[in-house]
Structure 1
Amino acid sequence: MAAQKKKRAAPVRKRRPLLRIGAGLLAAVVLTGGAIGGAGWWRYTAPGPLPVAAALDIPHGGYASTIAALQQGHALSANGLDGYVFRAAIALTRDEGQLHAAELMFPAHASMRDILSVLRHGKPVLHQLTVPEGLTASQIMVLVQAAPFMKGTVAALGEGEALPETYSYLRDSDRTALVTRMKQAMQRQVEAVWKGRDPSIGLTDPTQMVTLASMVEKETGLPEERPRIARVFLNRLSKGMKLQSDPTTVYALNGGAGPLGRPLVRSDLAFQSPYNTYVTVGLPPGPICSPGLAALQAVAHPASGDELYFVATGSGGSHFASSLDEHNRNVSAFRNRAQGRETAEPVYSP
């Protein structure tokens, strides 16, 4: 019986080393897994290589194209380990939302966690194009055509059809679509201003208002003068006088290509064109630029008064007058300040 007990106890003593080895292997696996997990977490939360905040264009496609774009933009290291960790992070955090393809802004030294947050929740980068008041249609078309990060060519644009303001757009936006937005914005503003106009101004339709506003826009850069200049033109229209606006002559000479590049001379004032208000009575056949909202409002709500003339002061403003004699004195004063040099500023005559 004792021998039998010894034979039964022997296998027990043989299994103990196996148990110790198994436990050791399990502990090693746990420790190794923990180490790998810890290293992965460190890589996931550690600052990334992006030196400064940057907008990166993330293309449509799978994870590979996203990772490639991030690596090319230096937001993600190009080593294989970071690519593996990033892929694993995408999979493990998939419940937080889908990754988006767009031009996105990534902060400097963004960690993988930061990058995934931007890819899932960041808003696309908006680019901006400012259209200043007083540009002609041809100038606006050049501006839109030169706008960065857009595609396509500029559609036809009529004079005075685009509203001057700042427009936001996404990368790869279509230029024709942007021009359409400019037209729609102008239509809305014109309709609103025309609806609220002072009915005593005597204009018969919104196009006349835009045309006169374009002249006011080009005549002065001083906001406080716009309603007063609008009143001068409206007074002259009501009396059947020629408007005699220099900007209309410039437009007649070069078709809205921009500044003439030289002062007007008296022979220019005789140039035969329906846009030259020195030779025609009434408004030009259409706008000579795109007026801003302030110029439209100035025509819709002009200043009061009986003034019929204005001339530049030589220092950015204008001298206004109700009579030709007073205006001629203002012109003489302007010429004296110009030290006797020939000036293109004419003496308006009724």
Structure 2
Amino acid sequence: MWRHIVSNFLTLLVVILIGLGTLAAWVKHQYEGPGPLAEAVCVRVAPGAALSTVSEDLAAQGVVSSSYIFRVGADYAGRANALKYGSYLIPEGASMSQVVGVLTDGGPSTCGSELNYRVGVNATRIILRELDPVTGRYVEKAKFDPLSEEVPAEVSSELSKSDLRVRVTLAEGVTSWQVVEALKAAPFLTGNVEEVPDEGTLSPQSYEVTRGSDRAALLAEMEARQSAILAAAWAARADGLPYESPEEALIMASIVEKETGIAEERARVAAVFVNRLRRGMKLQTDPTVIYGVTRGQGVLGRGLRQSELRRETPWNTYVIDGLPQTPIANPGRAAIAAALNPAQTDDLYFVADGTGGHVFATTLAEHNRNVARWREIEAQRQGN
């Protein structure tokens, strides 16, 4: 009898062990196998969120098939207390194991909203975008001018979220005054700016910032990046350039930046001005005259007057010899490179060609013909 009881017990034990093994294998498959998500979604983890809350949210969104298995797997992997707050993109079919990795590895948010504070030459804009997880593309939610418009409610709401990604982008050719005025109006920055940085010393590029970042510290970073770019370009400059210092090269780069927005033209525009300096010719470039009128504080918004072309200022290159006394804007990396490695040409003149670019000439006679063609184009446009 006892032998029969023991035999039945052992049989039951084997069945239980097999069942446990099968259950464990099923749980492992559920945790590591493809998940139920039919299309990518954004998952937001709030600061200080508990694993239990996050797992229930994941189950409700259809990201995981079982909140319990998700918690058990995360705990077994030693990541139950390693959640990082933010908004994360979860791809379709992601396994629970993959989801745990995404939510605990940290790093910048890969989903949700992004606020881009664009400081442009003609306008400053705040652009709020949100990632569409299905297409992987950003959808614009709001766009406004912070210098003249109230902050929309939806932007204020996003600014209250700790995982909002924020960047400040400087367009090539903005002036230091424009940058400072724009940063003063940025609702996500703090601190005062005591003085406007020297013209040309801020690097036009994109800067990742956090809410509450100090304005002066951000300006210092912009100056540091521009200094590094200029130093590297100066070290790799062409031989025989008519500059006595990196600062003079920066002045030339700012002129090149304001004269053309076409990347392929920068080196050739730089060559025209370098050739003029070498021959002792006046640079005669309108953007320098405009800077003498505005001092970089805003956009002129009209054509130059003859009186302004004749008026002597430290920047009017129709009147003064050589380079103006300071840069006339903040040039980008490409304009700096062009100023220090100009094209090898004999060009001395250029004028607009009607397509957004310029036509170049080596002689005054050729240039006058090009100017006549440009005036014909202007007349035709005014007549239409």
* Alignment equivalent of 1:137, drawn from 159, 176, 188: 176
- Deviation string 1:271-298 (CA, Å, 9 cap, x unpaired) is 6643333344432332222223332222
Change (3 A) 1:50 1:214: farther
Find out whether 1:115 has 2:103 as its counterpart. no
SS in 1 for 2:355: coil
- Deviation, 1:73, is 7.4
Q: Which structure has more RCO (C-alpha within 8 Å, separation ≥ 6)? A: 1
**Equivalent of 2:50, from 62, 65, 68?**
65
CA gap 1:22/1:138 in 2 versus in 1, 3 angstroms: farther
Among 279, 289, 292, the alignment partner of 1:252 is 292
Whether 2:92 is the aligned partner of 1:105: answer no
1:234 Cα deviation after fit: 2.9
Per the TM alignment, residue 101 of structure 1 is displaced from its structure 2 partner at its CA by 1.9
Pick closer, same or farther for the CA change 1:51–1:265 going to 2, 3 Å: farther
CA distance in 1: counterparts of 2:322 and 2:55, whole angstroms: 62
Equivalent residue runs for 1:80-95 within 5 Å: 82-94=66-78
- The answer to whether 1:327 aligns with 2:327 is no
2:173–2:331 contact (8 Å) kept in structure 1: yes
* Gap runs ≥5 in structure 1: 1-12, 343-350
Q: 1:65 is aligned with what amino acid?
A: A
Indicate conservation of the 8 Å contact 1:49/1:75, yes or no. Answer: no
Aligned CA distance change for structure 1 residues 53 and 139 (closer, same or farther; 3 Å):
farther
For the structure 1 residues 271 and 117, does the alpha-carbon distance in structure 2 shift closer, same or farther, using more than 3 Å as the test? same
| Residue type of the alignment partner of 2:173 | G
Structure 1 contact 335–341 (Cα < 8 Å) conserved: no
Q: Confirm or deny that 1:160 pairs with 2:200.
A: yes
Structure 1 residues 322 and 88 mapped into 2: Cα distance closer, same or farther (>3 Å)?
A: closer
Q: Relative to structure 1, is the Cα distance of residues 172 and 106 closer, same or farther in structure 2, using a 3 angstrom cutoff?
A: farther
Aligned partners of 1:144 and 1:154 also within 8 Å:
no
Is the contact made by 2:84 and 2:104 (CA closer than 8 Å) also made in structure 1? Answer: no
Instruction: Give the match for residue 5 of structure 1.
Output: none
- CA contact under 8 A between 2:56 and 2:67: conserved in structure 1? no
Counting matched residue pairs gives 323
Q: What secondary structure is seen at the aligned counterpart in 2 of 1:186?
A: helix
- The one-letter amino acid of 1:248's match is T
- Provide the identity percentage: 36
Inter-CA distance 225–112: structure 2 relative to 1 (3 Å threshold): closer
Change (3 A) 1:314 1:76: closer
Q: 1:183 to 1:99 in 2, by over 3 A?
A: same
| Residue equivalent to 2:224 | 184
In the alignment, is residue 282 of structure 1 matched against residue 322 of structure 2? yes
- State the alpha-carbon separation in 2 of the partners of residues 23 and 336 from structure 1: 103
Task: Normalising by structure 2, report the TM-score.
Answer: 0.63
What pairs up with 1:231-250 in 2 under 5 angstroms? 231-238=271-278, 240-250=280-290
Counterpart-to-counterpart distance in 2, 1:132 and 1:202? 28
Letter of the 2:100 counterpart = L
Q: Which residue of 1 aligns with 2:129?
A: none
Aligned to 1:293: 333
**Closer, same or farther in 2 for the Cα pair 1:203/1:97, shift >3 Å?**
farther
Within a 5 Å distance, the mapping from 1:29-40 to structure 2 comes to: none
Structure 2 Cα separation of the partners of residues 202 and 208 of structure 1: 9
Q: Which amino acid is the alignment partner of residue 332 of structure 2?
A: G
| Structure (1/2) with the larger strand percentage | 2
CA distance in 1, matches of 2:319, 2:211: 47
* Aligned-residue offset at 1:191: 0.7
Residue by residue, what CA displacement relative to the aligned partner does 1:190-245 show, whole Å, maximum 9, x if unpaired?
11211232342221111111111111122123344333322332343345544221
TM-score by length of 1: 0.68
**Matching residue of 1:310:** 350
1:99 and 1:116 in contact (8 A); partners too: no
Q: 1-side partners of 2:92 and 2:185: how far apart?
A: 29
- The SS at the match of 1:339 is helix
User: How far apart, CA to CA, are the structure 2 residues paired with 1:68 and 1:170?
Assistant: 29
CA contact (8 A) 2:176 2:198 kept: yes
Deviation for aligned residue 1:97 = 9.3
Kindly state the Cα deviation for residue 26 of structure 1 after the two structures are TM-superposed.
Answer: 7.7
How far, CA to CA, are the matches of 1:107 and 1:75 in structure 2?
16
Show structure 2 runs of 5+ residues with no match: 111-164
1:53 to 30, 36, 40: 40
Paired with 1:154 and 1:39, the residues of 2 have a C-alpha distance of 60
